[in-house]
Amino acid sequence: MKFSADLSKRLDSETYGAVLLIDNNAYTGVPNDTLPSFRQNGTLIGLTPTVSTRGERYVVRVGAGIYVDAMSKTTFHFYPQAYLSYSLFDDILVPYAGVDGQRQRNSFRSITQENPWTIPGPVLANSSKLYDIYGGLRGSLSSALGFDVRVSYTGWRDRLLYITDGFYSFGNQFNTVYDDVKVLDVSGDLTYDAGKGIRFHGRLDIFNYDTDDQAEPWNLPPYQVAIGARYSLRDKLIIELDAMLMGKRKAFTPVFDSVLDQSPDQTETVELNGFVDLHLGVEYRYTKRLSVFLQASNLSLSRYERWASYPVQRGLVLGGASYAF
């Protein structure tokens, strides 16, 4: 059960706000048929007060993330938050900088949505984004071309990683491990509006990881590229074409000398090949409430491995309709 409320009040050039979060998670884990189940109950309460001021050229915002996390024990967490931007040449160039931090819930639902092959009873622990120090420059090179170049350095405590499990399964599922990880992310984002409902976008992220206990940042890519195009015909017919390229990843896997072994004899590090996934989406909005859609993924029909030993299906086609009340 999750409850959130966002309140704000503007007084002249200043805006005062706060976000309240109450997140309760009750979880029963069942590792396998031979081990007893276990139960974890946890409540995460967060309060994020902010105050911001806006001038003709600048925006300043300061605040804090304040969290009480009650799971196996009650812990208190405080994260400073700040943001500053300054407009140059009528928003043609806008340099900005800031720092952010938050407490992040890891639930059985969030874990299995990211990695469906996780064991039935993984141990849950919440993650802390201790700090995310970033700075960048965004702006427009013309009325149609916009860009955003950004550098960030993030420190994580108990960052969630996945390793192939060799004890609660037959080496065909994943278990969770938590490590302190520092991430340097250099990114660039480019958008182009060609007019007549046609837009293009592209993004490049280059990552560098520094792990504390684990030998590698398991299953995390060193770089990622996303490009796409969108066509809208009078906001009735919408066509989107996207491509995502993910670089090679390191995976931790157990090695069994015999199919009769109950536990792995050794472990090894394998390198998963990079891949490109092409996605096509078509939507027709019959009315403002009723629309039909068709989506197709992995148009190249490749059997790449997003997770070790689990090649994706060669293609996925999904169609349906939506109606808004």
Residue 290: inside a domain, yes or no?
yes
Residue 280 confidence (pLDDT): 96
> What token pair was written down for 103?
């407490």
17, exposed or middle or buried, with CB in 10 Å at 0-12, 13-18, 19+? middle
Residue 161: inside a domain, yes or no?
yes
pLDDT tens-digit profile of 220-271?
999 999 999 999 998 899 999 999 999 999 998 877 665 555 566 677 889 9
Residue 222: inside a domain, yes or no?
yes
- What's the domain range around 171? 70-323
Residue 95: inside a domain, yes or no?
yes
pLDDT tens-digit profile of 86-126?
999 988 999 999 999 999 999 999 999 999 999 888 888 99
State how far the Cα of 119 lies from the Cα of 173, in Å rounded to an integer.
6
Residue 146: inside a domain, yes or no?
yes
Contact 272, 248 (CB under 8 A): yes
State how far the Cα of 216 lies from the Cα of 213, in Å rounded to an integer.
9
Residue 61: inside a domain, yes or no?
no
Residue 258 confidence (pLDDT): 59
C-alpha triplet 59, 63, 68: angle, nearest 5°:
155
323, exposed or middle or buried, with CB in 10 Å at 0-12, 13-18, 19+? exposed
State how far the Cα of 155 lies from the Cα of 127, in Å rounded to an integer.
11
pTM of this prediction exceeds 0.95: no
Residue 87: inside a domain, yes or no?
yes
Q: Please report, for the domain that includes residue 96, its CATH number.
A: 2.40.170.20
Residue 320 confidence (pLDDT): 96
> What token pair was written down for 128?
């802390």
> What token pair was written down for 123?
């141990």
Dihedral angle computed from the Cα positions of residues 68, 69, 72 and 75, in that order, rounded to the nearest 10 degrees: -50
Number of domains making up the chain: 1
pLDDT tens-digit profile of 49-89?
999 999 989 999 999 999 999 987 899 999 999 999 999 99
Residue 44: inside a domain, yes or no?
no
Q: 114 — phi, psi (to 5°)? A: -80, -45
Interior/surface letters 199-211, b for 16+ CB within 10 angstroms, e for the rest: bbbbbbbbbebeb
What's the chain's length in residues? 325
